[in-house]
Amino acid sequence: MKNFNYNIPTKVLFGKGKVKEVGKEAKKYGDKVLLVYGKGSVKKSGLFDIVVNSLKDAGIYIYELPNIDPNPRIDSVYQGAELCRKVGINLIIAMGGGSVIDCSKAIAAQANYCGDVWQDLYVEQKLDTLTSALPIASILTLAATGSEMNGNSVISNMHTNQKLSIGHDILRPVFSILDPEYTFTVNKYHTAAGIVDILSHLFEQYFTPDHEGYLQNRMMEAMMKTVIEYGPIAYNELDNYEARANLMWTSSLALNGMVSYGKVETDWATHGMEHELSAFYDITHGVGLGILTPYWMKYVLSEDNVHRFVEYGRNVWKIHGHDNMEIANKAIDKTREFFNSLNIPQTLREVGIDDSKLEKMAEQATIFKYLAKVYIKP
Ligand code: NZQ
Ligand code: ZN
């Protein structure tokens, strides 16, 4: 196992009713909070009012930045950072899914930064220049990205068709509130996309050429089995608490660093390709991953790595047999069938992507291939 420094400092408040504790937690950081949220789901679900009341009860002044887009834009980052500086925000609270949390992290970075975070951090990856950031917290409403416990932030610049990521420990949320009841309102489409995203994060860290990381690989198999067990339940019964709770906790654990610490290398090729699809066509992240993943698996499968696909087939899908390649191929087919059961499209054409920009996307994915390595650097 490789050396590593374990660093997962986010305090997690998990379960029913935990949202009401936000005021008490937030007060530890000061009395000016910026609430960042998306296009309205938090108001429809009633979460917004509960959070505002709890913050007001704690004597906190609230400022708001609504309307964050899925695939959050750099323009929102500049807008939020300016507001933070102007009024002297002490804590940013992101209420939503990965997009809102990622945007809040970028705002937290830009608020204290002398230059332009887009150019310096996202494009040029000068991560050492980020030495301070405002504290951010999250109230998660969609189980998918793991952003609630990690230091990653993925931002899109639609002017340049770029979707780029950074990973920095300084951006890990100081606390995150995970109440599965507030994911009941996530529709089937985004529930499915979230399920695929969680699995994909595990695949990216599991399908690696190493023969080490036995413990990490077994932990990941347990998480994959959890998603395969509870994903379809949540998809078919949107308000099933146990299913939503299992997905939510798995999403956090799958990408907070725990399962990759000590592993020699992680992959992130599928994410690299998907980010280009989103950058050019603004498609839903999990849907893009669902289309690409089975093709990627078939493409990379070889005698050198078949052992890992066999472990996946045997331990996750309970596939028996003696022929390694046959087990591996059956496991890939099972993966595709699972995505099909969640109505994930199978081809790029189905989501409106033809081959006109493939070369450009490939070029960008390759130029920025180092970005893949920034996810949870051990
Ligand atoms: O904007 P609102 O109204 O809130 O609606 C959102 C949005 O339309 C909706 N939604 C969220 N919670 C809901 C809800 N609707 C009803 N009830 C609720 N409780 O869902 C839609 C999608 O939200 P979004 O935040 O975009 O989804 P997700 O959490 O999948 O985040 C995707 C973004 O995260 C990035 C992706 O690339 C993409 O930009 N990623 C971030 C990662 C990280 N920080 O570690 C890793 C991932 O690999 C990923 O790249
Ligand atoms: Zn992802």
pLDDT of residue 376: 38
Ligand 2 centroid, distance to 155 Cα (angstroms):
13
Q: Which of 103, 139, 145, 156 to mutate for ligand 1's pocket (most ligand atoms within 8 Å of CB)?
A: 145
370, with CB counted inside 10 A (0-12, 13-18, 19+), is exposed
Smallest-distance ligand from the CA of 140: 1
Ligand 2 centroid, distance to 113 Cα (angstroms):
27
Ligand 1 centroid, distance to 177 Cα (angstroms):
16
pLDDT digits 0-9 by tens, 306-356: 999 999 999 999 999 999 999 999 999 999 999 999 999 999 999 999 999
CA atoms within 13 A on the CB side of 157: 12
The model's pTM: 0.97
175-178 and 152-157: which strand pairing? unpaired
Please tell me the chain's helix, strand, coil percentages from 3-state DSSP, rounded to the nearest 5.
55, 10, 35
CA 377 – CA 371 distance, rounded (Å): 11
Q: Which of 102, 172, 189, 201 to mutate for ligand 1's pocket (most ligand atoms within 8 Å of CB)?
A: 102
Low-confidence ranges of the chain (pLDDT < 70): 368-378
pLDDT of residue 108: 98
The kind and range of the H/E element at 62 are strand 61-65
> Helices 214-236 & 241-254, crossing angle to 10 degrees?
150
Ligand 2 centroid, distance to 23 Cα (angstroms):
30
pLDDT of residue 115: 97
Ligand 2 centroid, distance to 146 Cα (angstroms):
8
Q: Which ligand 1 atom is nearest residue 100's CA?
A: 25
Ion ligand 2 neighbours, Cβ < 5 Å: 197
**Ligand 1 site, residue 183, Cβ cutoff 6 A:** yes
Which DSSP string corresponds to 151-217? Answer: -EEEEEETTTTEEEEEE-GGGS-SEEEE-GGGGTTS-HHHHHHHHHHHHHHHHHHHS-S-S--HHHH
Q: Which ligand 1 atom is nearest residue 47's CA?
A: 19
**Ligand 1 site, residue 147, Cβ cutoff 6 A:** yes
pLDDT of residue 377: 39
pLDDT of residue 378: 32
Q: How many helices (H) and strands (E) does the chain have?
A: 14, 8
**Ligand 1 site, residue 257, Cβ cutoff 6 A:** no
pLDDT of residue 308: 95
